[in-house]
């Protein structure tokens, strides 16, 4: 995750983590996909190449104003809380940095980088259809093994499918299939 200098009415600009996850999901195909925490809409835009119906959510309304230029189904809500649908694919570049409190919603993940990601994945879990996929990006800075364990408790089989070393951390992509 690249720590960017932002004001609160700003949004997360596509960075190394975004591009890493984009490479990983660009060959996925299906009918319906959801990008949680869409930021600029970069990942939602990639998904729209191979999915007919793409929805993007974010709690940051400024981000959604930007995302709306590239994807029309933008919903301002936490995770997937405002939705009821069975998606073939749900993706999320998680806010995973360990933090005591959430100061920057784009990156702060609370204790061990688990608090916010766990809530996001809980909400997302019921939006993935049976045999559908949830793909998320986390990091060696977070307790990602515990996050994987929690994801499995929500009815997924989960495995690490890619890692990428950066200067201070290793990015980790986790692919989960809904059982
Ligand atoms: C690391 S940024 C990723 C942005 C974009 N997906 C990308 O890859 O460039 C995390 C995003 O999640 C959003 N976010 C944080 N908590 C959220 C929540 N509970 N529900 C929805 N979005 C959230 C932030 O506003 C931010 O846009």
For 17-66, write each residue's pLDDT tens digit: 999 999 999 999 999 999 999 999 999 999 999 999 999 999 999 999 99
User: What was the pLDDT predicted at 36?
Assistant: 98
Task: Say yes or no: CB of residue 104 within 6 Å of ligand 1.
Answer: no
Sorting pLDDT into bands at 50, 70 and 90, what band is 83? very high
Please state which CATH number belongs to domain 16-178: 3.40.50.150
Residue 7 has pLDDT above 70, yes or no: no
Do residues 87 and 32 make contact, with C-beta atoms less than 8 angstroms apart?
yes
Q: What six digits make up the tokens of 126?
A: 């019921």
Judged against a pLDDT cut of 70, whether residue 152 lies above it is answered with yes
Question: Is the per-residue pLDDT at 1 higher than 80?
Answer: no
Q: Which two tokens mark 49?
A: 């190449």
Token pair listed for 28: 């996925």
Q: Is 4 helix (H, G, I), strand (E, B) or coil?
A: coil
pLDDT at 9 over 60: no
Confidence (pLDDT) at 77 = 98
Residue 38 Cα to ligand 1 midpoint, Å, equals: 6
Partners of 58 in beta bridges? 76
> What's the rounded Cα separation, in Å, for the pair 177 and 80?
17
Decide: 89 in ligand 1 pocket, CB within 6 A.
Answer: no
> At residue 5, does pLDDT exceed 70?
no
* Tokens 């749900």, residue located: 90
Check residue 179 and give its pLDDT: 98
**CB of 37 closer than 6 angstroms to any ligand 1 atom:** yes
């Amino acid at each position: 995750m690249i720590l960017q200098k932002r004001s609160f009415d700003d949004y997360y600009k596509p960075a190394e983590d975004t591009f890493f996850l984009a490479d990983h999901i660009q060959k996925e195909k299906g009918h319906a996909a959801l990008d949680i925490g869409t930021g600029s809409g970069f990942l939602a835009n990639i998904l729209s190449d191979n999915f007919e119906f793409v929805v993007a959510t974010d709690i940051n309304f400024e981000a959604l104003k930007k995302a709306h230029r590239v994807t029309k189904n933008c919903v301002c809500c936490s995770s997937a809380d405002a939705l009821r649908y069975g998606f073939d694919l749900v993706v999320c570049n998680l806010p995973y940095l360990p933090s005591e409190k959430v100061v920057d919603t784009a990156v702060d993940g609370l204790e061990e980088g688990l608090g916010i990601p766990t809530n996001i994945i809980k909400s997302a879990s019921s939006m993935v259809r049976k045999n559908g996929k949830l793909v998320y990006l986390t990091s060696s800075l977070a307790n990602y093994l515990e996050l994987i364990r929690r994801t499995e408790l929500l009815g997924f089989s989960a495995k690490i499918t890619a890692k990428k070393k950066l200067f201070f951390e290793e990015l980790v992509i986790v692919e989960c299939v809904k059982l």
